[in-house]
Amino acid sequence: MACLAKKSWTTYGFSLTLRTMMTNVLFVCMGNICRSPSAEGVFRHMVNEAGLGEVVRIDSAGTHNFHVGEAPDARAVAAARKRGYEITRTAARQVSAEDFREFDLILAMDWENLSALQQQCPKPHQHKLMLMMRFANEFEEATVPDPYYGGPEGFSKVIDYLEDACQGVLELVRKRATQYQAA
């Protein structure tokens, strides 16, 4: 459920309040230690660079409870850090029932995780579930591959895909904010 964010300032003695549409975005992979925290970090960086930090809530989660409470994989942290993204402030968590109500976009990294989400998600919220790569413009792959069992090059490739797809998600969020402002 999107909520409103208010921004107020005073100009020439007049108090102005701008209301913008808050967008809540959840990135989901299997264990929430590689792809989804990387997506969260990349997208958070882009959102802040675009000046939309006050109107976008960003989080990540896993469909499974394999790594709950753990920090992101060190290889994911290294790949993100090489590109200027910070992902060490996250701790793995599992998708909860509340997530389906609270988030406007729930973006799965691959078909398996999308299927798991579809099985858990109440029917009224199914429209929020999508593959992350649906928002990519440069890459034609349908999914973000799981780099967990590979080497550092797989984590770097994940960042490539996420930068592309997050740019598309950012455009959607920006449109939502400006459409609401114009209304």
Q: Give me the residue label for tokens 């925290």.
A: 37
Catalytic-labelled residue, pool 34, 35, 57, 73: 35
Residue 29 a catalytic site member: yes
Residues 6+ apart with CB under 8 A from 46: 166, 167, 170
Residue 34 a catalytic site member: no
Measured distance CA(31)–CA(92) in Å, rounded: 7
The whole-angstrom distance between residue 97's C-alpha and the CA centroid of its chain comes to 17
Catalytic-labelled residue, pool 29, 34, 121, 166: 29
Catalytic-labelled residue, pool 75, 146, 166, 176: 146
Residue 35 a catalytic site member: yes
Q: Name the nearest CA neighbour of 111 among 125, 86, 132.
A: 132
Which residues carry out catalysis? 29, 35, 146
